[in-house]
């Protein structure tokens, strides 16, 4: 009988704790402004973002993303890109970031980099996200594209100041 009462009290206290913890652990949201959105701010606004507090375009064309700390961690999680890596690896493409996401090296066989370019653009966005959501006001990403068949650097660009030019493929 005493054991049953103790279990009941324990269950009740756990239930009440869970019920109340949802109210007391609300995170405060913070705004992050992206001045040079590499993949297109309009596209980001149109997609479903139930994983953020708010997202909107500013009058100057910049994008503001409002996130709690746990949402910020989700958005900067490098594992978010793993689904894109699978088809790239099957195509023979290797993608590597520097630790601070300021350098991106892409190694691809002849004719593959152009076909993979839409997916590769997502890696530029991931680097921009990582930098801005970790306090870098003016993000920058040096992208190097290497032909894995020849070992030659076929293109180098610093985003967002320069654009990647995919016309080198097949030359």
The model's pTM is: 0.74
What distance in Å separates the CA atoms of residue 121 and residue 127, rounded to the nearest whole number?
10
Residue 154 has pLDDT above 90, yes or no: no
For residue 153, being part of any structural domain is answered with yes
Which residue carries 């996130």 as its tokens?
67
What distance in Å separates the CA atoms of residue 133 and residue 72, rounded to the nearest whole number?
7
Any idea what DSSP says for residue 29?
A: P
For residue 127, being part of any structural domain is answered with yes
For 92, half-sphere exposure in the C-beta direction (CA atoms, 13 angstrom radius) is: 12
Predicted confidence at residue 166, as pLDDT, reads 59
Q: Are 105 and 121 contacting, i.e. CB atoms less than 8 angstroms apart?
A: no
For residue 63, being part of any structural domain is answered with yes
For residue 2, being part of any structural domain is answered with no
For residue 143, being part of any structural domain is answered with yes
For residue 16, being part of any structural domain is answered with no
Looking at the structure of the chain, the number of domains it has is 1
Residue-range definition of the domain harbouring residue 157:
30-164
Predicted confidence at residue 167, as pLDDT, reads 58
Average pLDDT over residues 102-124: 83
Residue 130 has pLDDT above 60, yes or no: yes
For residue 3, being part of any structural domain is answered with no
pLDDT tens readout for residues 2-61:
433 333 333 333 333 333 333 335 789 999 999 887 677 777 778 777 788 999 999 998
For residue 98, being part of any structural domain is answered with yes
170 or 55, which is more confident: 55
Looking at every residue in the chain, the average pLDDT score rounds to 79
Percent of the chain topping pLDDT 90: 38
């Amino acid at each position: 009988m005493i054991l049953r009462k103790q279990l009941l009290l324990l269950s009740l206290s756990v239930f009440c704790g869970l019920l109340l913890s949802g109210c007391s652990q609300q995170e405060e949201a913070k705004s992050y402004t992206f001045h040079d959105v590499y993949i297109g701010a309009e596209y980001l606004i149109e997609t479903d973002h139930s994983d953020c507090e708010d997202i909107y375009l500013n009058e100057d064309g910049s994008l503001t993303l409002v996130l709690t700390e746990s949402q910020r961690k989700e958005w900067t999680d490098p594992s978010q890109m793993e689904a894109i890596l699978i088809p790239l690896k099957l195509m023979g493409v290797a993608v590597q970031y520097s630790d601070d996401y300021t350098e991106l090296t892409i190694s691809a066989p002849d004719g593959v980099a152009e076909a993979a370019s839409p997916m590769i653009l997502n890696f530029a966005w991931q680097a921009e996200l990582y930098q801005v959501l970790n306090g870098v006001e003016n993000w920058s990403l040096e992208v190097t594209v290497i032909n894995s068949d020849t070992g030659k650097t076929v293109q180098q660009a610093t985003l967002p100041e320069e654009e990647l030019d995919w016309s080198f493929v097949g030359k």
